Structure 1
Amino acid sequence: MAKHELKILPEYLEAVVDGSKTFEIRKNDRNFSVGDTVFLNEFDGEKMTGRWTERVITYITDYEQKEGYIVMGIARP
């Protein structure tokens, strides 16, 4: 299983942390796989803030996505 460090904007990180956002749409440039860990690091548009959360990829689909993009279901480890 791989580990991925990803940037995320504050409003999206907050939604992941509070549980209302259980997915990520990303370019699949890292060969994401079910079971991989993603570290979502808050980026305010200029710098990393130091806030982060960890999630595990539980599901992946590219259905109806732009070429090269996927939707990942994510959950707490």
Structure 2
Amino acid sequence: MTTNFAFAEPFIPQFQTLDPAHHQNHELRIWPDCFAAVKAGSKPFDVRENNGNFQLGDELLLREVALETEQYTGRTLTRWVSYVLQGGVFGIEPGWCVLGFSDQPPIPSGITDIRLW
């Protein structure tokens, strides 16, 4: 028996977190080229010094900064941490990390179908 499901909109699995009440908010500076790539979806990650103790599900406010003046441009993006690769492995220096970005917030543990969320 075969079953074919047709969804009205694309099904996009979303990451889950166990304790959404303990997420942190981080405000991060980001250069214009990186800002544009994150906004376009071609850069779903960032390499950062892990001085903010980044955790899965944390909310990130990315604030674009002009290279020449180091002043904020006024453009922002919101992303959520979907993965944290800690430094000390794969050539990443200790104290640094690679953050995976999601443009959707995490769903609570136990929710399996985001169309119902």
Normalising by structure 2, we get a TM-score of: 0.64
Residue in structure 1 matching 2:60, options 13, 16, 38:
38
**Quick one: which of 47, 71, 85 aligns to 1:61?**
85
| Unmatched tracts of structure 2, length 5 or more | 1-22, 105-117
Shift of 1:67: 1.7
- Where in structure 1 are there 5+ consecutive unaligned residues? none
Q: Name whichever structure is richer in strand by fraction.
A: 1
Comparing 62-71 and 15-24, the one that deviates more: 62-71
- Amino-acid identity (%): 35
- Following TM superposition, where does structure 1 have runs of at least 4 consecutive aligned residues deviating by more than 3 angstroms? none
Shift of 1:13: 0.3
Compute the RMSD of aligned alpha carbons: 0.8
What is aligned with 1:75? 102
Higher relative contact order (CA 8 A, sep 6+): 1
